[in-house]
Amino acid sequence: MTAPVNETSPNGRSGRFAGLSVMHKIMVVVWVVALVAIITGGVAWVRMNTLDEKVQGLNRDNIYRLNQVTLMQGSLADMYVAFVLYNQTTVPAEKTTYENGVKAAQTSLNESFAAYQERPDNSAEWKKQVTAFDESWTQYIATLNTLVFSDTPPSGVTVATGAAASASLGTNQQAFNEAIDALQKLENAQASQDGEDASSAASGAKTLIAIVLVVGLIVAMALAIVVGRGIARRLARVGEVLDAVADGDLTRRADADSGDEVGRMARAVNRASESIRQTVATLSSSARALAESSQQLSASAEAIAANSQETSTQTGLLASASEDVSRSVQTVAAGSEEMGAAIREISQSANDAAGVASQAVTAASATNATVA
């Protein structure tokens, strides 16, 4: 009984993948690994960009503003020192120097505050504290410079006099100190939050990259295992069929349901096995016919042998008859010789009789002539 041949179309139930060559299947695995690497690299790139943006934002905004707050505090300290020295000295030149020091510190603080506001934060608290510092600081230095250095108040700023001026200085000084301290705390908190966000982004990036990498590698390994097992299984099946053919079993068939080299080899093995099977079947049929012919030939040989025996017997009889005929021929030959001699004697006698007759005729003719 011949086993069914499994030679479905390579693009049938096994799909297009089964129709790919072994090299292309291996390349598919390589492409999957490359795709995993590209995706991993892309995710890493995006995450690193996000992390870089956070770090850049931290450096560009929080740290920058925090540095400006530090510079503002330093300018305040310089102003306080110069103002104390101004009040302590009685030397006009020194007073002028310290007055200039106070105003230089005020200018430096204003510049730092202006730079601080160039990179604003969007939180309402930040805007509130900036406004509070701006108002209290502007009122403070206007009152201080007017009362101490006899400067003209800036346009739009009203400066109190007497006890109200002293109270205004204290109130505004406390207000801008509280505002600048609040701004520093906000910047520290924002920097800490941005640092945590950056760290969280880095951890998330590492986690996501690890997940993508692991999933991609699992997919690539699974695909490699599927391809490898498929090739190994079909090669093993082809090997089993070849072993069976070597052992004389021509009924085994290899799976030939793919279009790759293994599938083509399996189909070639199946065709070779089928061809050998048909050849063996033909030889077997011919052998049976030859056996039957041999039996018929054997029977014919026996008949010929029997006929030969009979012929031999007949030949013996014929030989005996031939001997009798030969003896008869010899007897006839001897009789023929005797008959020839008798015939010769008769012929001689006839010749003699003819001579006598001729003589008689001559004599008769002479007699007739004489009579006439």
Residue 278 and residue 272: Cα distance in Å, rounded? 10
pLDDT of the residue at 124: 95
169-183, 228-242, 260-274, 307-321, range with greatest mean pLDDT:
169-183
Per-residue confidence at 98, pLDDT binned at 50, 70, 90? very high
pLDDT of the residue at 13: 44
- Give the H or E element holding residue 152: none
CA 197 to chain centre: 40
pLDDT of the residue at 355: 67
pLDDT of the residue at 146: 92
* Residue 259 region by backbone torsions, left for phi larger than 0, else alpha for psi between -120 and 50, else beta: alpha
* Environment class of 210 (CB within 10 Å of its CB; exposed 0-12, middle 13-18, buried 19+): exposed
Q: Is the Cβ–Cβ distance between 140 and 176 less than 8 Å?
A: yes
Summarize the confidence of residues 40-58 as an average pLDDT. Answer: 70
pLDDT of the residue at 330: 74
| pLDDT of 89 strictly over 90 | yes
Q: Is the Cβ–Cβ distance between 270 and 256 less than 8 Å?
A: yes
Rounded (10°) angle between helices 163-246 and 64-88 = 160
Residue 265 and residue 239: Cα distance in Å, rounded? 11
Per-residue confidence at 245, pLDDT binned at 50, 70, 90? confident
206-216: pLDDT as tens digits: 888 888 888 88
| pLDDT of 48 strictly over 80 | no
Which residues touch 62 (CB under 8 Å, ≥6 apart)? 187, 190, 191, 194
pLDDT of the residue at 5: 46
DSSP assignment string, 191-205: HHHHHHHHHHHHHHH
- For 109, half-sphere exposure in the C-beta direction (CA atoms, 13 angstrom radius) is 24
Rounded (10°) angle between helices 163-246 and 124-149 = 150
Summarize the confidence of residues 67-72 as an average pLDDT. Answer: 95
pLDDT of the residue at 99: 95
Look up residue 280 and give its two tokens. Answer: 């063996």
| pLDDT of 62 strictly over 90 | no
pLDDT of the residue at 170: 93
286-345: pLDDT as tens digits: 778 877 877 887 777 677 767 667 766 766 666 676 676 567 657 756 766 776 676 677
Summarize the confidence of residues 187-200 as an average pLDDT. Answer: 82
Residue 94 and residue 45: Cα distance in Å, rounded? 61
Residue 259 and residue 262: Cα distance in Å, rounded? 8
Summarize the confidence of residues 21-28 as an average pLDDT. Answer: 73
53-57, 108-112, 327-331, range with greatest mean pLDDT:
108-112
| C-alpha gyration radius of the chain | 71
Q: Is the Cβ–Cβ distance between 238 and 254 less than 8 Å?
A: yes
| pLDDT of 350 strictly over 80 | no
pLDDT of the residue at 131: 97
pLDDT of the residue at 338: 73
pLDDT of the residue at 298: 75
Q: Is the Cβ–Cβ distance between 140 and 159 less than 8 Å?
A: no
Summarize the confidence of residues 94-111 as an average pLDDT. Answer: 96
Look up residue 266 and give its two tokens. Answer: 């399996």
